[in-house]
Structure 1
Amino acid sequence: MDDDEVLTKLSQNLLEILNDEEYYDIIIEVGNDPYVKVFRAHMVILYYRSPYLRRILSTNKKKNDGTLTHIKLPNISPETFQIILRIF
């Protein structure tokens, strides 16, 4: 497998992970009532891909008791956050 194939496969895997509804470790509530959308994501990927989310996640570290991290971002529209997830 050459480098281009590896990068293509990695990109494909990251998109699959983004859409994964089973193996996530963070729940992000985005928007304000009645326009709230819940995103399920992966902390480690968000942490390394986005400086903005890194700052937020640094203050909301995963708990050692097995519970999921849950953060709220009321000042971002769900549509905008969906784009942010795909870009970063």
Structure 2
Amino acid sequence: MDDNKLLPILSQNLLEILEDNEFYDITIEVGDDPYVKIFRAHMVILNYRSSYLRRILSTKVKKRSNDRILAHIKLPNILPEIFQIILR
């Protein structure tokens, strides 16, 4: 498959990963009451896409008993609608 066809497929795959409700390893609580939304995401992708989130993640990662890494961060100063755009 040539690169011209691969990049659109890869982009589509990344959007599908964003919608995945089973294999996420981080939750991000965005907004302030009563306008809060929780996003599920993947730390490795956030780590490479955002230096801001990389700094936050470096202090928030915790291990659970089943060795699955899980983190929860809160970003109250961002509107959920804006964060949705940023994630995409």
TM-score (norm 2): 0.89
Identify the residue that residue 79 of structure 1 maps to in structure 2.
81
User: What's the C-alpha RMSD, in Å, of the aligned pairs?
Assistant: 1.3
Which secondary structure state, in structure 1, belongs to the residue aligned with residue 33 of structure 2?
coil
Over 3 Å counting, the alpha-carbon distance change for 1:62 and 1:48 in structure 2 is: farther
Gap runs ≥5 in structure 1 = none
Q: How many residues align?
A: 86
**Shift of residue 61 of structure 1?**
2.2
**Shift of residue 64 of structure 1?**
5.2
**Shift of residue 55 of structure 1?**
1.1
Kindly indicate which of the two structures has a greater share of residues assigned to strand: 2
Over 3 Å counting, the alpha-carbon distance change for 1:6 and 1:58 in structure 2 is: same
**Which aligned runs of 4 or more in structure 1 are off by greater than 2 angstroms?**
64-68
Identify the residue that residue 70 of structure 2 maps to in structure 1.
68
Over 3 Å counting, the alpha-carbon distance change for 1:67 and 1:11 in structure 2 is: closer
Q: What is the CA deviation profile of residues 21-42 of structure 1, one whole-angstrom value per residue up to 9, with x for unaligned ones?
A: 1110001100111110000000
**Shift of residue 59 of structure 1?**
1.3
